[in-house]
Copies of this chain bind each other. A is one copy, B any other.
Amino acid sequence: MITHNDRLLLGPGPSNPYPEAMEALGRPVLGHLDPDYLALMTEISGQLRTVFGTANELTLPVSGTGSAGMEACLASLLQPGEKAIVGVNGYFGERLCEVAARGGAEVVRVEAPWGRALDPEALLGARRTHPDARLLAVVAAETSTGVRNDVAPLGALRDTDTLLLVDAVTALGGSELRVDDWGIDACYSASQKCLGAPSGLAPVTLSARAVQVMQARVVPVRSFYLDLGLLQEYYLASTPRYHHTASSTLAYALHAGLARLLAEGREAVWARHAAIGARLQDALRKRGFGLVAQDGHRLAQLTATTLPEGLDEAPLRRALLQRYGIEVGGGLGEFAGRAWRIGLMGHAARERSVVALLGAVDELLG
């Protein structure tokens, strides 16, 4: 027997979709080669270019979650034995290393402690030590710690043969991200966080030189499902070549979420997330909670927070869910068992989320 509980989703994602995105899920299903579906995909590519801040032709949603977007980029750009420099200061930096290594790449790690930002100079230095690196990858917004890594300085890679790959799963639509201005060659995100749609699609964009790298491969991409070259021939060719049975249901919902975001405006959405996140973080500090991310590199859309001394996080988190229907995430890695991760993303990035959460926390701790 399945119940239908109605959660306020303030974890690390999924977030509550915009009402327009939920409504769009109910539209009649289209075939994956229907002219209407392909026109919808063309519109989505255009919306995504605006949200990413790019003119890249290869801009499309992969049929999978953010992890599929990550793997699509790494698998399509790296050949076995090639070198990838990866910035690691949290769980998703680690995942980049694992996915690259599974694909047969040689991984060079550049680390910072969890909660601290990566040093762009250290990353660029690693590139000088490994000038043959095919790509350098960083997570713009570390979902495990709430840390914002500086991406713009890495644009210096545009003068080298090393591509810049950026994980924007939690960043896109939630904080400043400028693919073309910052010289990003490959970027992926996910539909269910700051874009305000349900999960299942992973927006990806590749620069012209990243496409060239992909097209110059000698070894075929090991994955068929996540081969961005095949997806380009499906979604972006004048005569689409069948690849997989993509979901018009998820596409309609993503389109609606992006339309809502773009109607508000990209910078206005960043400002909304910034204001609401700052409000939450101030209130948490007043209550004796700690903030995991260092000053000056703290995300607004995702806050990792340590609980006041003596409090047991798991039963409190369970009570939030069971009594109030509010989801927050548990800590990951070294913060497991002593931190929460609170997302204020997309439709949930608003006053009501904050007052509901704080009200419940105060009552539980009262």
Per the 8 Å Cβ criterion, residues 6-21 of A in contact with B are 6-7, 9, 11, 13-14, 16-17
Min C-beta distance of A128 to chain B, whole Å: 29
Tallying the copies of this chain within the complex gives: 2
Beta-carbon nearest neighbor of A255 in chain B: B2
List, in ascending order, chain B residues with CB within 8 A of A98's CB. Answer: 224
Q: Show 9 A/B contacts (Cβ-Cβ < 8 Å), sorted by A.
A: A14-B32, A14-B247, A29-B199, A31-B329, A63-B64, A63-B68, A64-B68, A102-B221, A198-B247
Is the pair B222, A225 in contact by a Cβ cutoff of 8 Å?
no
List, in ascending order, chain B residues with CB within 8 A of A274's CB. Answer: none
Residue among A27, A31, A75 facing the most chain B CB atoms (10 A cut-off): A31
A191-224 toward B: CB 8 Å interface, digit per residue (1/0)?
Answer: 0100000111000000000000000000011111
Is the pair A245, B66 in contact by a Cβ cutoff of 8 Å?
yes
Interface residues of chain A: helix, strand, loop or mixed (majority): loop
Is the pair B249, A200 in contact by a Cβ cutoff of 8 Å?
yes
List, in ascending order, chain B residues with CB within 8 A of A104's CB. Answer: 222
| Interface segment, one of A34-42, A147-155, A276-284 | A34-42
Per the 8 Å Cβ criterion, residues 313-341 of A in contact with B are 321, 327, 329, 332
Asked if A95 is at the interface of the complex by the 8 Å CB criterion, the answer is: yes
A130-168 toward B: CB 8 Å interface, digit per residue (1/0)?
Answer: 000000000000000000000000000000000000000
Is the pair B198, A246 in contact by a Cβ cutoff of 8 Å?
no
Q: Report the Cα distance A332→B5, complex, angstroms.
A: 44
Is the pair A34, B200 in contact by a Cβ cutoff of 8 Å?
no
Q: Report the Cα distance A29→B345, complex, angstroms.
A: 14
Is the pair A66, B190 in contact by a Cβ cutoff of 8 Å?
no
Min C-beta distance of A352 to chain B, whole Å: 15
Query: What is the interface size of chain A, counting residues whose CB is below 8 A from a CB of the partner?
Result: 70
Asked if A65 is at the interface of the complex by the 8 Å CB criterion, the answer is: yes
Asked if A226 is at the interface of the complex by the 8 Å CB criterion, the answer is: yes
List, in ascending order, chain B residues with CB within 8 A of A33's CB. Answer: 329
Q: Report the Cα distance A22→B7, complex, angstroms.
A: 20
Asked if A4 is at the interface of the complex by the 8 Å CB criterion, the answer is: yes
Q: Give the residue of B67, B225, B247 whose beta carbon is less than 8 angstroms from that of A199.
A: B247
Q: Report the Cα distance A232→B278, complex, angstroms.
A: 38
